[in-house]
Amino acid sequence: MERHFDQELSELKEVLLRMAGLAEHGVAQSLKALVQRDNSLAKKVDTDDVALDRLEIEIDNRCIKLLALRQPTATDLRFIAMAMKISSELERIGDQAVNIAHRAEELSKEPLLKPLVDIPRMAEHAQGMIHDSLDAFVYQKPDLARAVIRRDQQVDLLNSQLHRELTSFMIEDPHTITRCLNLMSVAHNLERIADHATNIAEDIVYLYEARDIRHQNESAG
């Protein structure tokens, strides 16, 4: 019985990691669609999001079944609870990638406003946070998860900087408003992706240390 339960937990972890891979890929592809002005790729990001939605439902069903039939305790209980939370964060990351893909389609209809520098930089930070938060999960490294939380400030700063610059563009030339608003939306989506990665990192700390660090100033230091 114990061996079968361990196998079920292992399978749950595998599905969660598969979902994480799809979420990471969706973010990368949405940025590629934006930078390369590739509408077909943007549409594919939207289509591929269906797989993420299905995996979230599968993970929820697996977790509910394990809770009902196995009555786990301690670490196993935390793992199942965090798996449900992490899958929800990954699904939301997928939604943000879809939003970026939609903005990419809109931006491709007009001339490039300015060289894309800050947005790819934000994306690099956000994607790195997703990747490292999942590494912290796989390799049981709560310290790495804490480092992810601290990096969220970098994305917030880049977002604020870009918003100030784009606001100046709109004031100087009203013809740029639509493009500026679309770029602001992309930056906001990336900032939210970083927030979801931070939430996952907080879940990892709870999983391995049994400490709830939400709403604490873990970003300092």
pLDDT in tens, the chain (221 residues): 577 888 999 999 999 999 999 999 999 999 999 999 999 999 999 999 999 999 999 999 999 999 998 888 888 999 999 999 999 999 999 999 999 999 999 999 999 998 898 999 999 999 999 999 999 998 999 999 999 999 999 999 999 999 999 999 999 999 999 999 999 999 999 999 999 999 999 999 999 998 888 877 655 44
Residue 217 lies inside a defined structural domain of this protein: no
Residue 221 lies inside a defined structural domain of this protein: no
Phi, psi angles (nearest 5°) of residue 123: -65, -40
Please give the pLDDT value at position 1: 55
- Characterize 8-37 residue by residue with b for buried, 16 or more Cβ atoms within 10 angstroms of its Cβ, and e for exposed: bbeebeebbeebbebbbebbebbbbbbeee
Residue 215 lies inside a defined structural domain of this protein: no
For residue 159, the domain's CATH number is 1.20.58.220
What is the pTM for the complete model shown? 0.93
- Domain residues for the domain of 170 are 2-209
Please give the pLDDT value at position 84: 95
Contacts of 56 (CB under 8 A, 6+ apart): 19, 87, 88, 90, 91
Please give the pLDDT value at position 219: 54
Contacts of 170 (CB under 8 A, 6+ apart): 176, 177, 180
Residue 23 lies inside a defined structural domain of this protein: yes
Our count of domains for the chain comes to 1
Please give the pLDDT value at position 120: 94
Residue 219 lies inside a defined structural domain of this protein: no
Residue 189 lies inside a defined structural domain of this protein: yes
Please give the pLDDT value at position 221: 45
Whether 52 contacts 26, CB under 8 Å: yes
Residue 203 lies inside a defined structural domain of this protein: yes
Residue 220 lies inside a defined structural domain of this protein: no
